Amino acid sequence: MHWKQSGIINISKDIDNPYKWSPDTVSGILEKQEYIGDTVNFKTHKQSYKSKKKINNPKEQQLIFENTHEAIIDVDTWEKVQELRKNRRRPTKTGKTNMFSGIAYCADCGEKLYYCTSNNF
């Protein structure tokens, strides 16, 4: 919308709904702790100053400063979203999901069990 107001035409954007947010953008906002008012430092590091590749640090090595700026999302909503996203469920081709999908785990390998349907069974 900013480009349109500046006179720059962007054909790839939806003209009818210029403020439409993509699902990836919304999920990225809901995953980041910075949006609840915290500052997270040392999320990544580099092996060497010569290397361009960033390596993610584990949570134990990150420094988190709470309530450093105004929050966009309240903490209760953010924690509920983290819990829901941790147990994401994969829908089948028919659109149905089982209530235990993504929650039950295999006793042998430890992987999540998924609900599977097919016309051939």
Mark whether 81 and 94 lie in a shared domain.
Answer: no
Per the DSSP assignment, residues forming a β-bridge with 64 are 40
Identify the pLDDT of residue 4. 73
Q: Are 34 and 78 members of one domain?
A: yes
Number of domains within the chain: 2
Q: Are residues 78 and 115 in the same domain?
A: no
Structure tokens given for 25: 């953008």
Look up residue 74 and give its two tokens.
Answer: 């309240």
Looking at the fold, whether 94 and 54 belong to one and the same domain comes out as: no
Q: Nearest 5°: CA angle at 104, between 99 and 108? A: 155
One domain, residues 27 and 55: yes
Checking if the pLDDT of 18 tops 70, the result is no
Residue 63 three-state SS: strand
Domain containing residue 47:
2-86
CA distances from 12 to 16, 26, 59, 77 (A): 12, 19, 38, 33
pTM: predicted TM-score of the whole model, two decimal places: 0.57
Tell me, what's the pLDDT at 92? 66
Q: Which residue has the higher pLDDT, 28 or 93?
A: 28
pLDDT single digits (tens) 51-83: 999 999 999 999 999 999 999 989 999 998 888
Mean pLDDT of 11-34: 78
Q: What is the rounded distance in angstroms from the CA atom of residue 77 to the CA atom of residue 58?
A: 24
